[in-house]
Structure 1
Amino acid sequence: MSARDTALAASEKLIGTEVGVSNWILVDQAMIDQFAKTTHDEQWIHVDPERAAAETPFGGTIAHGFLTLSLASRFAYDCFNMLPGQVMGINYGMNKLRFLKPVLAGSRLRGRFTLQKVTSKGPVNLLRENLLTIEIEGEKTPALIAEWLGMAVFKD
């Protein structure tokens, strides 16, 4: 049995289970400002704390939705190891993505992963679909939920 087939059989047993919860990450104003500069999205709701406090219902600045989403890779590093025989993992995209709650500057976030589906893709690839929930510490509603696709690539 190939390493990919062994990983497929093992992964199929985990469908429907939570496979990882990451460490918390602080999303502070410095991180938001750096992301704004990098992406050229310097909208005042993200980078002007005084104006955001005065003119928004949030009481201060909020992180970009795409900043929150971009932390998914960091969360995945906390939760997933390479499978036996896997040579690399590739971000394959999202099926569904919803931003549910703004992330206030100074919030801490973490990722929670639940394996939903595993599919063989050719002789060396394994496509894994995880429900990703990015939680905000102290909040019942998550920042976002997404069906995240990851391709595990094996040597043949």
Structure 2
Amino acid sequence: MAVTISERASQVGTTLVSDWVTVDQNMIDAFANATGDHQFIHVDKDRAAQTPFGGTIAHGFLTLSLMPMLAERTPGLAIDGVRMGVNYGGNRVRFLTPVRSGARVRGHFKLLDLTEKRPGQWQQTTEFTVEIEGEEKPALVAEWLSQLFV
């Protein structure tokens, strides 16, 4: 269910959580091919098994790039009337725990601020955390800015 922009602005401090998504080797390989980052810890199962990771892991930037997919799978995060949303940048990104191939992750979206910059143009600041199923520490924590046009 979508909310209005003013309803969303009143939710500062609220955290919404996505459904789980599996990060499998096919996803990791596709990201490696798209970015040209074929470091062995991501794509070579045998060599990666010899590292402290014990197998292949997702790229940190792959984990960060899951933000739109996880947002789409987060009940209550959609805002009615948004014509366009664009990334504005990040204030902070920290990669804390590697995501092993086959792991399930979900996003936590905490609204930190939503301010109207111009009529119909809103700036949203969100703390985005990626939880790994069964892990104590998250994969990453980012403070992300986006512009929403209504």
Q: TM-score, normalised by structure 2?
A: 0.91
Counterparts of 2:72 and 2:119 in 1: how far apart (Å)?
Answer: 25
Question: Equivalent residue for 1:105?
Answer: 101
Q: Contact (CA 8 Å) 1:135, 1:142: kept in 2 or not?
A: yes
Counterparts of 1:74 and 1:92 in 2: how far apart (Å)?
Answer: 18
Provide the aligned length of Structure 1 versus Structure 2.
Answer: 145
Question: Equivalent residue for 1:12?
Answer: 9
Moved over 6 A (4+): none
Question: Equivalent residue for 1:3?
Answer: none
Counterparts of 1:148 and 1:94 in 2: how far apart (Å)?
Answer: 4
Counterparts of 1:33 and 1:7 in 2: how far apart (Å)?
Answer: 38
Question: Equivalent residue for 1:47?
Answer: 43
How far did 1:12 drift? 3.5
SS at match of 2:109: strand
Amino acid of the structure 1 residue aligned with 2:70: F
Question: Equivalent residue for 1:82?
Answer: 79
How far did 1:13 drift? 2.1
How far did 1:86 drift? 2.4
Do residues 124 (structure 1) and 125 (structure 2) align? no
Amino acid of the structure 1 residue aligned with 2:95: F
Amino acid of the structure 2 residue aligned with 1:102: P
Q: Contact (CA 8 Å) 1:82, 1:88: kept in 2 or not?
A: no
Q: Contact (CA 8 Å) 2:5, 2:79: kept in 1 or not?
A: no
User: What is the RMSD of the two structures over their aligned residues, measured on CA atoms?
Assistant: 1.3
Amino acid of the structure 1 residue aligned with 2:87: N
Counting helix residues as a fraction of each chain, which structure ranks higher? 1
Q: Percent identity over the alignment?
A: 52
Amino acid of the structure 2 residue aligned with 1:33: D
Amino acid of the structure 2 residue aligned with 1:7: I
Q: TM-score, normalised by structure 1?
A: 0.87
Counterparts of 2:66 and 2:48 in 1: how far apart (Å)?
Answer: 23
SS at match of 1:67: helix
Counterparts of 2:93 and 2:69 in 1: how far apart (Å)?
Answer: 18
SS at match of 2:58: coil
Q: Which of 27, 30, 35 is 2:26 aligned to?
A: 30
Give 5+ residue unaligned stretches, structure 2. none
SS at match of 1:141: coil
